[in-house]
Structure 1
């Protein structure tokens, strides 16, 4: 089975859309299309035909391109069942334990609510790849718009249990702000200090800081490293008002 080709497409102010291609089958899907035009242009440039759209949650900066891409390509939209009412373009609704295919590559649906009530993560176990939307970020996690600290803490523990080599493809370039907060949350963590320095240099050069890995997040993500729901909740509340 061939390796997946995963292409990062920057969109809006800080979104990342992921274009995922299976060379063996020729199938291509797009994860969380904030907008359509850059996705369609990149697929055309590469000679790829988009065969599916996968959404992690309903927010417009993750679904805004659904309708236009669907109209242009006929690609069906796969979306979380719990958010069906908020994703009218959805064709297939998925929930915990369901599988979604790209060629022979199998992704398992993990329900990871808290940022939104029905948020899901798509995990390709055999490829060591996870698309985490706005649940797990590089050195951060999503705000608790529709869920609880207990839910997001459970998400962090669940994702931390994935194999350390798993590549994490999140949907925003938030790493610099997250790293600055992480330095405050864990001032004695040398791994965080080193990563902050690296991230600062990368952003100065205009480079993207994602994907990340589960191993790196275990070492430097203060939300994944929280030792209790209470500590997680305190860190999330502190980050919500952090200006660094």
Structure 2
């Protein structure tokens, strides 16, 4: 399996998960269609599925155009059937979705939205976290509660440390400033920030991160209880 990062809008990431054996692909959170179409047309890969982590427009904006052009099926959380454009296949928490070489466990992670899910491709050691877990950060809480978001992050903490984390936005450098402000003696964090700056200076992406890096450096995952997490999330909102 190959994962191709597709930058969209101002700071969004969509991802093409490519089954090279069958020359087919899934796209995760296509905020806009045109960058996805350009890549597919240049590589002659067939888009079969659209995977949505949640209903926000900057994650589903390309659904309809891609569906109409390629006949792709839209996959989303069963509780968001009224909010995800063009949804065809409803998935539930802990379900495993399989099609040929694609195999993803669904993890329901309410907090950012009530219907947010992650797609964990365990055979490929990759998780697509949308706006729940970012590199060195976590999403704002729009619909859920602090307790829900904390519990959702605790679910993701249980993934193997070598799991690659593909999140919905390039927020890493902004997130790093908050982490350093509240965890200034963290040597692993300082090393990661230096690596991030080098990647960005050479035109690269900070994604994917790994669960190991996030456990060592992400202050939200380093929170041991919901009270500490809630305070940090509140402070980040006003940082």
Compute the TM-score of the two structures, normalised by the length of structure 2. Answer: 0.97
Which deviates the most, 122-131 or 171-180?
122-131
Q: Please name the residue that 1:202 is paired with.
A: 199
- Corresponding position: 1:64 with 2:61: yes
SS in 2 for 1:207: coil
**Using the alignment, how far apart are the partners of 1:65 and 1:147 within structure 2?**
25
Q: Structure 1: which 5+ residue stretches go unaligned?
A: none
Which of residues 78, 82, 96 in structure 2 aligns to 1:85?
Answer: 82
Q: Structure 2: which 5+ residue stretches go unaligned?
A: none
Q: Please name the residue that 2:215 is paired with.
A: 218
SS in 1 for 2:27: strand
Quick check: 2:51–2:75 contact (8 Å CA) kept in 1?
A: yes
Q: Please name the residue that 1:106 is paired with.
A: 103
Q: Please name the residue that 1:173 is paired with.
A: 170
Quick check: 1:28–1:102 contact (8 Å CA) kept in 2?
A: no
- Corresponding position: 1:6 with 2:3: yes
5 Å-filtered alignment, 1:89-168, equals 89-168=86-165
SS in 2 for 1:193: helix
Q: Please name the residue that 1:15 is paired with.
A: 12
Which deviates the most, 28-37 or 149-158?
149-158
Quick check: 2:60–2:85 contact (8 Å CA) kept in 1?
A: no
Following superposition, the deviation at residue 204 of structure 1 comes to 2.6
SS in 1 for 2:120: strand
SS in 1 for 2:123: coil
Following superposition, the deviation at residue 223 of structure 1 comes to 0.5
RMSD: 1.0
SS in 1 for 2:82: helix
Following superposition, the deviation at residue 102 of structure 1 comes to 4.1
Following superposition, the deviation at residue 84 of structure 1 comes to 1.3
Compute the TM-score of the two structures, normalised by the length of structure 1. Answer: 0.95
Following superposition, the deviation at residue 106 of structure 1 comes to 1.3
SS in 1 for 2:147: helix
The alignment of Structure 1 onto Structure 2 pairs a total of residues equal to 239
